[in-house]
Structure formats: structure tokens, C-alpha cells
Amino acid sequence: MPTFSNRVSTFGTTIFSEINVLAAQHNAVNLGQGRPDFDTPSDIVQASVKALTDGLHNQYPPGNGTAEIRKGVADHANRFYNLDIDPDRGVLATAGATEAVFSSILGLVDPGDEVIVIEPYFDSYVPNLIMAGAKPVFVPLHPPEWTLDPDELRKAFTPKTRAILWNSPQNPTGRVFTVEEMTLVADLCKEHDVVVISDEVYEHLVFEPAKHVPIATLPGMFERTVTIGSFGKSFSATGWKLGWVYGHPDLVAGAMRAHQFVTFAVHHASQIAGGYALHLDGSYYENLQAMYTTKRDLMMEALTGAGIKAKVPEGTYFVMGDFSDVFDGDDMAFTQHLIKNIGVACIPPSPFYCEEHRYIAGKLARFAFCKSDATLKEAGERMRKLKG
């Protein structure tokens, strides 16, 4: 009997699913997957409930998204980044940022093209490229500061390079790249006529004094960049799976062509609520950052108490810890030990690297701090045992 295709034959179960199962079995405090364990703000939920009950939203929404979400994304990009986005042709609503990345790759990259991937990378990028028939070309960030080596980056650009998958604020390192760092990327993209697929889902999770600057705002970059956002990250609603792509209409058209035959359209009521949420005033975002700054500090306290070294994240709700002072083994063994013997779950980062660069993750673990303060304190208490 025929089974699955060659295309997916190398894909295992995602590390997040594996860790969630193990964490549940051992009743561990789960700092693994980046899913908030607190509620979406109630006014946003109410906007969705109203949309579901007003009798207008049981039909397929427009393929590129409702007018509400498209205007929300365009207005938001204008308010925060002074970008002039066409809500009709320059925005596409997707099933989370995950689909936004995949539809962008399918719509902008051809089989055989090379696509630069910065490591450690978000786990769907490489399978997405494989499914599109493209070739990932890996460039690692260097710990402990998680910087790019300009020569390594330069060498990765070849005549076959079609795109770079850019992610800032970066999961899992917590880096928010500086304008200087991004200027190097931008210059190389312009020199080699390369498209940027810019995953900016953590755009509002940035800690002072870091500042998020979309790469599309650098000179000459708007024409060659699609930018991706996530309702789940900005509004603590990962389960709603709503995301978007915005940018130059000629590039968004590529993502749209793919999207219409991937999902066609996405959940109507969520898009209405998304349009509402994107128009919330500045205090919403200030409160979000303040809340996450407290959580980041609690997370850092927990790591310090456990004897785990880490660069304080500049953004996102992740931190990469170096456990070499308290555990003798690799990231996979450490994760098992932490879950089974200490009662805390984290993510081993080696699956976010190619074979050649996997050694970089050997003594590292990723912790997610999008959790209630009580959960973070409990994790800190349990992790103290590591030092002992």
C-alpha cells in the first residue's frame, strides 16, 4: 500500500508536540511551547463573539481577508512604522503566521532556488522550503551574543539565492537586530536582487532600550520585502491562528496566489476581532510590554537561581539558557532530565539547526516566559534543585 510522499518522509513529529506529551506525563511546569497560559483580553474576545452572533459571518470571507482585518493591518503599519500599505492589494490574512510564511515561500520562491535561513530558526521554515522544492542555505548566529558573522552571511549569497527568511525579534534567541545589522542584510539583498520574507511576529514584544525596526523600512527594501505578523503573538491568542502578510502589492500577490489554493480564506469572526484589536490605542501595547518585562525578569531570576547562564532577551518571550555549569550532557538529555527529575519543561534547540551546525545547541535550552507570574515563580522554585 502506498504511504506518505518522499516530500514529507524526513519530517518527524515537531519537538513541541513531543515535549508537550512528556511534560503532561510528568506533570511538569511547561515552559516549552510559546503559548500564553493566560486569556486573550476580554474586549477582543467579545468582538469575536459579537461577530459570531450577528448573523453575518457564517459565510466564506473574502480570500485575501475581510475589509476590517486588511484595514487594521494597513493602519497599524502606518501608525507604528510610517509605512503606506494598500489595504486592498498589499495585505493578505492567513491561518496564522505559519501559513503566511508558507504561502509567501510558495508564492515567491521557485523549486531549485536557494533561500538563506538564519540559525537557530523557527521550526516550520525548513520543512516549508523542502515542500516548496527550495534549498535552504544556513547561516548561524553566534552565541553568547547571537551575532551574525558578516563574512559568513556574505558567502551565503550566490547567483541562485532568491530569498532570505529574516526573523526579528528572533525566536529562539530573543535578539532584536540593530539597524546596523539589518543594513548589512539589506545591502546584500539589494546587491544580489534577493527578496526578504520578514517574520516579525514578536514586533510588540521588545524590551527597552531595544527597538523593533521592520526591515521593509530601510532604504530600497519595501519593494523587495513581505512582512509577516501574528494576531496570536500580539494579542495573546495563539489558538485563533490568525496572521497576515503585508507589503508591496506585487509581492503580496505571489503569496495570495498560493494562499487561495492552500486555505482559500481564514476564520471570519477572528478577522473581525483582529481588525478591532489592531486599532487598540497605544496603552494596550505599553501594557503588553510592561507585563512581559516583568515576566522576562522573573524568568531571568529563575535561570540565575538554577545556575543557567543566559543573555537577557531584547525581545520575544523566549530565552536561550546555557546549562553547562549544572548538567553534563547534551540539550536532549538536559530536557529529559529537567522534565522528569526537576519538573520543568523546556525545548532543546538542536532541531532548529542543520546537521552541520547542530553542535552549537549542545549546551543550550530554550525557555518560554509567556506564562503567568505564578507559573514562572513555581518553575524558578523547582529549578533551584538543579544547582544543588
Ligand X SMILES: Cc1ncc(COP(=O)(O)O)c(C=O)c1O
User: Which residues sit at the interface with ligand X, rule CB under 6 A?
Assistant: 34, 96-98, 122, 167, 171, 199, 201, 230, 232, 238, 243
What angle (nearest 5°) sits at the alpha carbon of residue 65, between those of residues 59 and 67?
Answer: 95
Rounded to a whole number of angstroms, the minimum distance from the CB of residue 174 to ligand X is 11
**Closest CB to ligand X: residue number:** 96
| Per-residue burial over 283-305, b = 16 or more CB atoms within 10 Å of its CB, e = otherwise | ebbeebbeebeebbebbbebbee
Q: Which is nearer to ligand X, 104 or 171 (CB)?
A: 171
Rounded to a whole number of angstroms, the minimum distance from the CB of residue 90 to ligand X is 19
User: Across the strands, what pairs with 315?
Assistant: 206
Please count the other Cβ atoms lying within 10 Å of the Cβ belonging to residue 379: 27
Rounded to a whole number of angstroms, the minimum distance from the CB of residue 185 to ligand X is 16
Q: What DSSP letter does each residue of 357-368 carry, written as one string?
A: GGGGGTTEEEEE
Rounded to a whole number of angstroms, the minimum distance from the CB of residue 171 to ligand X is 4
CA distances from 370 to 41, 229, 288, 311, 318 (A): 14, 18, 11, 18, 8
Rounded to a whole number of angstroms, the minimum distance from the CB of residue 324 to ligand X is 25
Rounded to a whole number of angstroms, the minimum distance from the CB of residue 175 to ligand X is 12
C-alpha cell belonging to residue 339: 522534565
CA distances from 279 to 88, 91, 186 (A): 17, 16, 30
What is the distance between the alpha carbons of residues 336 and 348, in angstroms, rounded to a whole number? 9
